[in-house]
Structure 1
């Protein structure tokens, strides 16, 4: 054991021993994550734990190894400038390793979420990608600022110039930013999604075909595209005919002559609704007597359609069927009329 004392006293041997100990610790942690935690995660139905293990696996291994390098540098007690430069370099490698892992995890998660959102029509691909890229830019900026702090670089001039540039950009792109955040609020509030039928404040009605970065496009029944800036939509009253379920109620007002059998009228209207293939069976159609009007007894047929896009066509077929059936049943639809009494003077 005579050789042990000089070896143990050698700082380079001590540093190498520190690195080997940290390397063994990193390998043990890697095996624990890969063999035990991954097996436990595979037994759950959640995917977030799988993402978490894939994300943490490599960065933790590299971080422990580079922490061993940092510890070894402390043991070596190198002279300036290596005493500050090499630890800063090791910290930079650790930071960049975590940044790459975060960017990879964000891209992988974004691809899965994009496919899910596109299939459900919640958001357009361009807006989703912009949000993803914005998140990546934020991560890179945070890592850059952290990197400057590691190398002890004064960031005050940088913040001052960035503030001035930010004000200039914000003023120049005020409308663009308003539209972007309007689209983001539509996405977060789930006001509507692609394929929903909406009615605007202006009365225009159509199917949402795209939720973009700056604007939303709806397709009307005239096969025309209406483009509305997201900032306007976010501050407007919007009727979503497809929410919370893609179902729409049709109201068909019908006036019949006084003296008509109202129960027969109710039976006829319900039969017409049940015979129409476009009318949903659940909830069942209803008939309500609304008022005794000046010229007629005003009734209303209430029924549901599963596809809001077809409500105009179904209303048309219902009116045709009601008219034909009333003719067959001798149920009179009266003209507007008014009785005039002339008072004779004596």
Structure 2
């Protein structure tokens, strides 16, 4: 491509070629600033997203600088100009050509870092999945620095092969020294792309730890438990363990209230009463509708389970408390028995008879007789 452009300057003197290049560079820079970029800004101003505005504003400087400095580099490659300058071969490139390309590389590296970091921050703020903006920003900034440094070294003819070898050895050493940190970092990346959870979700780990995700960092995830205690869990541990996300795919959660009533209870009336109690509780959702389910015939009671839904996993415990109170009061008011084991202990005392048939001195009391009664029936046992 450079060769095709240079053929356009054949037959021109050094002065003419210089004037042409300078005019084209100035016109290109001005046109880029006041025509192309202005039209692009007007177009993106009508869109609903802010992403395109970020891209246009971040790429403005490198486009204008490239349009201006590309002419300087091209001018150093024109044969008429190179032959007219009384300098050593290659000096013109060192003074003007390579510096102009270096400035272009640095400007584009800064713009690439700026646009990606701003886009990641915007996505993170809107989505709220992970607090991963620092992670991607740091990784991307490091990549841009390494890439631009390698490009500049190659541009100035500096051999980078020994540096690559040294960097490889250093990378292996750092990898062994910081293997836990590296494992946590990649564990966090895996959790992010697997969409395991996001900030604000209530999760339960396989060891019983439960809490709301309040921060996801490079190394670890921070949970806030119901006791308002912050627990920091390494990302590698989370990636290797079973994680139950109780906030996904939707936040509503079912509450189960086990309940037993005595044999002989009117189950139709009881089921209607239990459902009415659940519907009257403000924390219980109207849809799906609460319902009572007959689970089994117990030893002492008919085993029921009241099922209803609340808006969020952190409301279940409070909803259970309110429902248990309301059910106890309602069942007492309706005279529906909640069975439980009962024991009646009776202590009796006997006196032995003497030879004449009269009662003698009190003897040691016999062991008490025990009446055991529960809702399923009664049983009396006399111990001799």
Q: Normalised by the shorter chain, which TM-score bucket? A: 0.7 to 0.9
CA apart distance, 1:110: 4.4
C-alpha distance in structure 2 between counterparts of 1:143 and 1:11, whole Å: 33
Match of 2:102 among 83, 92, 95: 92
Match of 2:40 among 32, 37, 42: 37
Structure 1: give runs of 5+ residues left out of the alignment.
1-7, 342-346
1:82 matched to which residue of 2? 91
Would you say the 8 A contact 1:246–1:308 is kept in 2? yes
Question: What is the root-mean-square deviation in Å for CA atoms of aligned residues?
Answer: 2.3
1:175 matched to which residue of 2? 180
For residues 235-246 of structure 1, what are the structure 2 equivalents within 5 Å?
A: 235-246=240-251
C-alpha distance in structure 1 between counterparts of 2:306 and 2:115, whole Å: 55
1:283 matched to which residue of 2? 288
Would you say the 8 A contact 1:183–1:230 is kept in 2? yes
C-alpha distance in structure 1 between counterparts of 2:149 and 2:67, whole Å: 22
Q: Which has the higher contact order (CA 8 A, sep 6+)?
A: 1
Q: Alpha-carbon deviations, 1:31-67, whole Å to 9, x = none?
A: 3323322212222223222222223322122112212
Compared CA separation, residues 211 and 46, structure 1 to 2 (3 A): closer
Match of 2:119 among 102, 106, 109: 109
C-alpha distance in structure 1 between counterparts of 2:227 and 2:32, whole Å: 64
Would you say the 8 A contact 1:33–1:53 is kept in 2? no
Match of 1:141 among 143, 146, 167: 146
Q: How many residue pairs end up in the alignment?
A: 329
CA apart distance, 1:18: 1.5
User: Which is richer in helix?
Assistant: 1
**1:48 equivalent in alignment to 2:51:** yes
Q: Alpha-carbon deviations, 1:295-318, whole Å to 9, x = none?
A: 322211111111322211210121
Compared CA separation, residues 64 and 225, structure 1 to 2 (3 A): closer
Would you say the 8 A contact 1:15–1:73 is kept in 2? no
C-alpha distance in structure 2 between counterparts of 1:173 and 1:199, whole Å: 28
C-alpha distance in structure 1 between counterparts of 2:75 and 2:37, whole Å: 27
C-alpha distance in structure 1 between counterparts of 2:223 and 2:142, whole Å: 31
Would you say the 8 A contact 2:199–2:213 is kept in 1? yes
C-alpha distance in structure 2 between counterparts of 1:213 and 1:9, whole Å: 59
CA apart distance, 1:107: 4.2
Would you say the 8 A contact 1:198–1:206 is kept in 2? yes
Q: Alpha-carbon deviations, 1:230-277, whole Å to 9, x = none?
A: 110111111111222222211111122222222111111111111111
Compared CA separation, residues 204 and 56, structure 1 to 2 (3 A): closer
CA apart distance, 1:111: 4.4
CA apart distance, 1:278: 1.5
Structure 2: give runs of 5+ residues left out of the alignment.
1-10, 342-373, 380-384
Moved more, 180-189 or 261-270: 180-189
Match of 1:64 among 64, 67, 79: 67
Would you say the 8 A contact 2:260–2:338 is kept in 1? yes
C-alpha distance in structure 1 between counterparts of 2:200 and 2:14, whole Å: 70
1:320 matched to which residue of 2? 325
1:297 matched to which residue of 2? 302
C-alpha distance in structure 1 between counterparts of 2:212 and 2:45, whole Å: 41
CA apart distance, 1:114: 4.8
TM-score by length of 1: 0.87
Q: Alpha-carbon deviations, 1:109-130, whole Å to 9, x = none?
A: 344345445xx4x334xx5323
For residues 158-169 of structure 1, what are the structure 2 equivalents within 5 Å?
A: 158-169=163-174
Compared CA separation, residues 219 and 21, structure 1 to 2 (3 A): closer
TM-score by length of 2: 0.79
